[in-house]
Structure 1
Amino acid sequence: MTCSRMQSVVIPRHFDYRVLKCKVSSISVWNHLSVHRSLAMNVRRLEVLDERAAGSGMGTGDQTKEMVPGGISSTETDLEDTDDELGMHEKHEQYLLDALSKMSHLESFAWSCNHSPISIDLLWPMLLKCHTLREVEINDNLVFSPVTNDESEGDSPNVAVAHELRAVALKSNKHVYGSAKHPDFTRVKGMLNSCPNLESLNIAYTQPRSLPHAHLSADDLFLFGRWPNLTSLTLTNLRCSPSTGLDAASSFLFAHLNLEILHLDMSPGTATWYNKLVFPPNCLPRLRELKAHRDLVSSLLACPSDAPRPLEIIKGVRLTQATDLQQSADAFFFNLRRHGVNVKRVELTSWHEMEDIRRLIESTPKLTWLDLGKKGNGNHHDRLGGSGASSSGAAAKSSSSSSSSHFSVVNANEWAILLSAAPELTTFHGVKFFYEVSLQAQASIANAANLPLYANGSTGNSNSGTGPAPGATAHVNLNLMNLSMTDRSRIRKNDETASMLAWKCTKLRRVDHWEDGGGKVVVIIRDCGDGKEKDKVAPRWEIRRVKQ
């Protein structure tokens, strides 16, 4: 802002209060908001962090750091006047509810305090009174705990309705506190009945460490849940009974014709449920993204529809090699080839043979994004591909390499021929083509060229129309000579791989980096020249970071 006077008013009184992240024990913040109603009205998003999360400036990420406005004079010590633990929690609850009642313009609320005895039944009615609330996320085991008789008797028949609430996410975790031996949807049912205009629903159940065999049945959800405006549904690790669950699930899906995103990641105990679930004709006519078991995807593709479904994204499919599942695999590829003409993105959970990948590519002519997931049973080395030579000799492990160098680089030519059957493919993940180049080599290349063009990329093409001047090229070659034989060999191999992939796969641009989980990808650059010089320019490869 150019006006310093307006900046001194807007920043501390409005901008600093837009997003708050603090713990239940931060009673100084709750007291400040309950006293200053005008400031509490400026809060748009409130995140209540877990007590075990790191404090301000100590967290490992943005999600664990507290964000509180300045100018709060009182402290927790000034407001805390009891040593009784139960009384302390009651005081935390009182301050929190008082502050929450003043946030009349709250739009987003996130609760991640799993170790607090504060009941969700007290927070939810307070949230419903906020008519501007649009999304709620609750990460607490108490959400799926059974409702006691005392709690059910205290329920009021006149329950408030949140007409503006559009997105609800209810999740549990592995912690023992608040977990139930027999979880159910009783409390969730009462909460979701107050959201008639729900558009996005995300329910994820995680077995606690002490109860690995506990499971949450989705039968009640399929029976009572009806939201005409629902467009996104995600159910993770839920079970469905083979008796009543099949009919209930079929009726539930047919009742929500506006669904565009459907993720049914059910628990392994419901494998037969995928085979027996029947989709009524014209079910899910607007579906664009589907994440489910392979048999369920196949059944939905084969479901008759008056108009073709705009299905473009398929996730969660396993391509296994079991002989007893070969018939269902054949049915999947047949239905995908016949009804999946609009599929552009496929993200597999696992795969086994390259022949399955070849059949998948042949069944999706418009494929632009392919992620293979993990190979075989999902071990780290299984993700790296099947028919490749191990990195030896020129690609041996250097002294400066990390643990990520323990992998086998696959046969790029073999994979390039396979991927050439997908002319529209731009992104391919699941197989590593490029050898690791040390940070010293990357820095040496960047410093020698002194151009962003060569940052984290190859520099072996001196005839590039956009490359450096001849003197700079000589300087680059001089610095490359100062690198180790391993780095020079790896750079040369990577240049050959980039050229091979660019030649066989005309639109392929993004592939895996040699590190796992580093948020990096290798990008193949083709358009480096103009006019007549464009055909003379060899492809380059660069390392770029991506959002995770």
Structure 2
Amino acid sequence: MPPSGSRSGTGSASVSGRGSRASSSSARNVKAKDAAALPAISALGDKVDDGAKIKARSTVSSTAKASANGLPATPSRTARARKSTAHGLSSLRSTTSIPPPSAQSHGISLSPSSHSRTDPLSALSTLLKLIRSLPNRIGGCAYKFTPAEHALAIHLVGVLDPYVFRGYRASTLASTASVEGVDSIASPLLLQQPTEILDAVLSHLDSRKDVLNFGLACKRLWEVVSPRHLEYRVVKAKPSNVAVWAHLVRNKDLARNVRRLEILDERMVLASSSTTGVHSGAAVHIPRTLLLSRDTDHDSTDDELALHVKYQKYLAAALSRMTALKHFKWGTGKASSGGVRLSDIWQLLSRHRGGVMGGLTELAVEDNFLFHPLLADEESTDDATDGDGSDDGSGEEYVASAGVPKKGNIRRVKSQPANLFKMQTIVFRSTAQAYGAAKLPELGRINMILHRCVNLKNLEITYVSPRSPSSAGATAGPAPAFPLTAQRPRPLTDDLFLYTRLPHLTHLTLSNLRCTSAEAASSFLGAHKALEVLHFEVTLHGALILPIGSLPVLREVKASKELINAILECPLSVDNSRPLEIVKGFKLSGSALSPSSSAVQGHSTRTIPDSRFLSNLRSQGSTVRRIEMIGWHDMDDVKRIVGCVSGVTWLDVGRKLGGAMGGPVANLTEWTEVLSTLPELVAVHGVRFFYEVSTAATGCDDLNYSTPHATCSTSSTTITPTSHATNAIQHNNLSMMERSRMRKNDEIAGVLAWKCKKLRRVDHWESNEDSGAPGKVIVLLREGKEVRWEVRRVRV
């Protein structure tokens, strides 16, 4: 047997071993309890703040560490409270069988795989339930997702995304696709793009109508369209509207959205602006946002003599920022634009490489500056560029400081002329003002522009002889027998005809010009095979003979009798005729050929007899549908022209040469017999058939001129003259003479409708030759066997 000391040592060792085993087992029990308490603590995240969680975890870790070292665990008061809570939650979990928080939250499964991608209604219900639980959470956990909940929310949003912007149209398209056998429909990716992408897409729409239709698709697109694009596509303002130009200078992105710019004349009378935006019924067009937020910082208080310098600076700076400009119009043909001359900004338009004119498709200028002779520095501009097309100062700008300009002059640099490949329409007109008119007008500056427009389709050059101050003030009296001052010479077109070739030109208008070489004009017209519309009012010194095959697709011509005859006599290279439909601008000399009648128009020094012209017109008159003459001498001229074009639908005989404009024609029967030979006739102008009656009889008293299709009240029919009660009341207030004229007009309307089955439009009794204001016409309306006439106002 072992000694007692050994027993005692062994007993103490066994006791200590049992104690160590007990302590280790207690440590394991504590770890297990703490491990069981951790999920309970995390489950209380919606009731306990984050700071309490951290303290509880630190207490558990310290207790476990002490137990592992063989020390008795002395949990703190907070730990003991947590421990009791954990024991209570453990017992509660064991009785209710709640899954761990990583699997469920408020009855919602947090696993994305448990939510089908093909069930958007269930995904929407789950997402709403998850969001509604956020406000009920305590402390800092309110309105916060856990990582698992956030991942589930992203998954649910992805399920709902293809169904957000579809609605009823999606179901309709889906049914259509199922019928046609299409498997799927692409999601509306355009609506999901950022605003910057949508803004870039809208920059490719130039028309304001297209932009409006794009914005009306949905509210999302409308927020992008208005007002950045819709209100900035068209800007019409005067040079004195400094606030408009300064606004465009400060906002480069808005200036890039301008597609059409019109510089209005300062003397133009504008209607009062509406409170909702642009001026209603007026020519000015200013963005609504600029009108509502009126900026008075740029209202000028400077000397009036220096105002045009300020206007010039801001206008030029705004122009330099309109890099996407497509249409530019300068002036209205009335007067100089508020002291700002076209020459001040012409360099910016025509010389700036990659600038304003480089992207233009339409240019319209009404100014006398274009017809000035070229200066020496302008003629040598093309020679200043290098051989490779580079210039000396390519890095310089026309305006040094665009935001707040400090200098009054625009720095002109020698730069390469812009290539105008996109230019399709050019309109150059002079004004009737004597101010700024050249004594010896030329087309040199216009030729320099045309040489770079190789794709030009429409060209108009109109020169208006300026009025002298004496003749401008003597408009009330009769016209003098001789001009008060010598007539200024008209520009020569010799260089234009010799050196300009535009292969894509379809519309050409040359008015009030002269040419010394008929061969140059002949070669010019023969080289442009694509011409469809030709308005040629050029004085030629010699007979015009066109080369064979000239103008094969000509549809409309407005010229003298000599030029039209040259076109009709010119044979084509193939055996077919020209599709000529409209012939206008000529007059018939009558039976007696007098020198005065041959030189009224002044197109050529050599005249041809009417018989030759009418014979050529008859040979190709099967396609002519519209005739507009300048004048005629006797009734035989009208009969001959009617006999040449039997299929005409529009006949304008002009005025009777050598006779005063009187009342209605006396030979109504003769006119109706002549017009009855035209079975397709719809409109007749130049002849007055109806008698003048007061506005009280027709009811045309207070019509708005801005509505060209407005209709006046009608008169009576031929059978029952007073069929309408209103007309009967009006007729009771008329004099005997007015009633007699009304009955006579009813008879005339009946005769015209009887002889000309398709006639609808004839002249009114008022003359509108010398005014550009809206005119009046008489329209014949057929209602069964009855015919009534109306007075309508139209724009001439």
Q: Please indicate the TM-score interval, normalised by the length of the shorter structure.
A: 0.7 to 0.9
Match of 2:445 in 1: 187
Shift in Å at residue 484 of structure 1? 2.3
Q: Which residue number corresponds to residue 250 of structure 1? A: 522
1:65/1:328 CA distance change after superposition, 3 Å: same
Q: Distance in 1 between matches of 2:348 and 2:266?
A: 19
- Structure 2 residue 621 is the aligned partner of structure 1 residue 340: yes
Distance 1:71 1:457, change over 3 A: same
CA distance in 2, matches of 1:295, 1:62: 47
Q: Deviations over 1:197-236 (max 9, x none)?
A: 0000000112223573221001011011101000000000
> Residue in 1 aligned with 2:612?
331
Contact kept, 8 Å, 1:129 with 1:160, in 2: the verdict is: yes
1:208 paired with 2:208, answer no
**Taking structure 1 as reference, are residues 476 and 57 closer, same or farther at Cα in structure 2, changes over 3 Å only?**
closer
- Give SS of 2:535's match: strand
Given the alignment, which residue of 166, 188, 207 partners 2:424? 166
Query: For residue 539 of structure 1, what is the aligned residue in structure 2?
Result: 787
SS of the residue aligned with 1:96?
A: helix
Letter in 1 for 2:432: K
Match of 2:697 among 431, 438, 441: 441
| Greater relative contact order, per chain length (Cα 8 Å cut-off, separation 6+) | 1
User: Given residue 325 of structure 2, which amino acid in structure 1 is its aligned partner?
Assistant: L
Q: Is the 8 A contact 2:717 2:787 kept in 1?
A: no
Alpha-carbon distance in 1 for matches of 2:255, 2:518: 47
CA RMSD of aligned residues (A): 3.0
Q: Secondary structure at the match of 1:217?
A: coil
> Which amino acid counterpart does residue 487 of structure 1 have in structure 2?
E
Q: What is the match of residue 371 of structure 2?
A: 144
Indicate conservation of the 8 Å contact 2:696/2:730, yes or no: no
- Matching residue of 2:336: 114
Q: Are 2:335 and 1:123 aligned? A: no
Deviation at 1:481, TM superposition (A): 4.2
Partner of 1:448: none
User: How many Å separate the matches in 1 of 2:260 and 2:753?
Assistant: 46
- Aligned residue in 2 for 1:417: 673
Whichever residue aligns with residue 102 of structure 1, its letter is: R
Among 779, 782, 787, the residue aligned to 1:523? 779
User: d(CA) in 2 for partners of 1:38 and 1:421?
Assistant: 63
Equivalent residues of 1:409, 1:435 under 8 A apart: no
Shift of residue 9, structure 1, vs aligned partner = 5.9
Q: How does 1:31-430 map to 2 (within 5 A)?
A: 31-55=246-270, 57=272, 65-72=283-290, 73=293, 78=298, 80=300, 82-83=302-303, 85=305, 88-112=307-331, 114-115=336-337, 116-119=340-343, 120-126=346-352, 129-130=355-356, 131-155=358-382, 157=385, 158-210=416-468, 212-241=487-516, 245-267=517-539, 270=540, 272-273=541-542, 276-305=543-572, 306=574, 307-321=576-590, 322-324=592-594, 328-377=609-658, 381-382=660-661, 384=662, 407-430=663-686
CA distance 1:423–1:147, change in 2 (3 Å): same
Contact 1:233-1:263 within 8 A present in 2 as well: yes
TM-score normalised over the length of structure 2? 0.57
Residues 718, 749 of structure 2: 8 Å contact kept:
no
Tell me the SS of whatever aligns to 1:216.
Answer: coil
What pairs up with 1:478-517 in 2 under 5 angstroms?
480-517=731-768
Q: Which runs of 4+ in 1 moved over 6 A?
A: 2-6, 61-64
Structure 1, 421-430 or 169-178: larger mean CA deviation: 169-178
Q: 1:375 to 1:63 in 2, by over 3 A?
A: farther
Alpha-carbon distance in structure 1 between the residues aligned to 2:627 and 2:321: 46
SS of the aligned residue for 1:17 comes to: coil
Residue 357 of structure 1 aligns to a residue in which SS?
helix
Kept in 2: contact 1:435–1:514 (CA 8 A): yes
2:548–2:571: 8 Å Cα contact kept in structure 1? yes
Task: Provide the identity percentage.
Answer: 41
Q: Distance in 2 between matches of 1:477 and 1:153?
A: 76
In 2, Cα distance between equivalents of 1:360 and 1:249: 28
Residue 296 of structure 1, CA deviation? 1.1
After superposition, the Cα gap between the structure-2 partners of 1:160 and 1:335, relative to the gap in structure 1 and judged at 3 Å, is same
Indicate how the Cα distance of structure 1 residues 76 and 354 shifts in structure 2: closer, same or farther if over 3 A, else same.
Answer: farther
Counterpart secondary structure, 1:266: strand
Q: Which AA in structure 1 matches 2:553?
A: R
SS of 2:231 mapped into structure 1: helix
Quote how far apart the aligned CAs of 1:358 are. 0.4
Aligned partners of 2:418 and 2:697: how far apart in 1? 63
Gap change, CA 1:127 and 1:538, over 3 Å in 2: farther
Q: What is the distance in 2 between the residues matched to 1:62 and 1:349?
A: 38
C-alpha contact 1:97 1:126 (8 A) present in aligned 2: no
1:84 and 1:503, CA in 2 relative to 1: closer, same or farther beyond 3 A? closer
Q: Partner of 1:393 in structure 2?
A: none
The CA deviation at 1:69 is 1.7
Say which SS state the counterpart of residue 539 (structure 1) adopts. Answer: strand
Give the distance between the partners of 1:334 and 1:63, measured in 2 at CA.
Answer: 49
Matched length: 491
Q: Which amino acid aligns with 1:456?
A: T
Output the amino acid matched with 2:252.
Answer: R
CA pair 257-62 structure 1, distance change in 2 beyond 3 A = farther
Does the aligned pair in 1 maintain the 2:342–2:367 contact within 8 Å?
no
| Structure 1 contact 427–508 (Cα < 8 Å) conserved | yes
SS in 1 for 2:508: strand
Post-superposition CA distance 1:452-501 (Å, at most 9, x none): 999323245349xxx97xxx67x865663443222221121111111111
Could you tell me which runs of 5 or more consecutive residues in structure 2 were left unpaired when the two chains were aligned: 1-215, 274-278, 386-415, 469-485, 599-606, 701-709, 769-773
Q: Compared with structure 1, are the counterparts of its residues 9 and 216 closer, same or farther at alpha carbon in structure 2 (3 Å cutoff)?
A: same
Matched, 1:461 2:680: no
| TM-score, L = length of structure 1 | 0.82
| Distance in structure 1 (CA, Å) of the matches to 2:324 and 2:588 | 48
For the structure 1 residues 490 and 237, does the alpha-carbon distance in structure 2 shift closer, same or farther, using more than 3 Å as the test?
same
Q: Is the 8 A contact 2:272 2:280 kept in 1?
A: no
Deviation at 1:441, TM superposition (A): 2.0
Q: Give the superposition deviation at 1:344.
A: 0.9
Say whether the 8 Å CA contact 2:243–2:296 is kept in structure 1: yes
Displacement of 1:340 in angstroms is 2.6
Contact 1:431 1:512 in 2 (8 A): yes
1:84/1:502 CA distance change after superposition, 3 Å: closer
**Aligned mates of 1:76, 1:171 — CA distance in 2:** 35
- Residue equivalent to 1:15: 230
**SS, match of residue 13 in structure 1:** coil
- Structure 1 Cα separation of the partners of residues 280 and 494 of structure 2: 37
Cα offsets for 1:176-215 (capped at 9, x unmatched): 2322111112111111112110000000112223573221
Q: Determine the C-alpha separation between the residues in 1 that align with 2:693 and 2:258.
A: 47
